[in-house]
Amino acid sequence: MCVRWILLHTVNWMSLESVTARLPRDMLAEVERLAQEEKVDRSELIRRLPAHALRQRKTEAAVAAYREGKVTLWKAAEIAGISLREMLEIAGARRIPVPYMLEDLRRDIEYVREKTGGK
């Protein structure tokens, strides 16, 4: 398990609240199977699953807003809580065009020149 994952998923036990949910038997069996596979207890896996689903939901909403032209790529990344690079990868994987105009290219070339001393 990587250190980044541990840091991102460390839970402040004092901030946890108890929630009761009824699950179908087949779903609970799948939770049990996944918990064993990941070598965590059932409660830990049940805490992780909504966190994952919420991140995914935020990303989907951000991608939809970007696709509809309601927000910029930067704003979509911010909404999703991910880096611009991650959002670019998602847009590319979903074949969402990322507009890049001649003026953008000029600005990027100038930026590179400044950073490299005009070479």
C-alpha span between 78 and 96 (Å, rounded): 18
Q: Model pTM greater than 0.85?
A: no
pLDDT, tens digit, 9 for 90 and up, residues 65-119: 999 999 988 899 999 999 988 999 999 999 998 877 788 788 888 888 888 886 6
Q: Which of 50, 52, 77 is nearest to 63 (CA)?
A: 77
Task: Tell me what percent of the residues of the chain surpass a pLDDT of 70.
Answer: 87
Identity of residue 48: R
**Cβ(80)–Cβ(87) under 8 Å?**
yes
C-alpha span between 114 and 119 (Å, rounded): 9
Which position has the token pair 């939770």?
Answer: 31
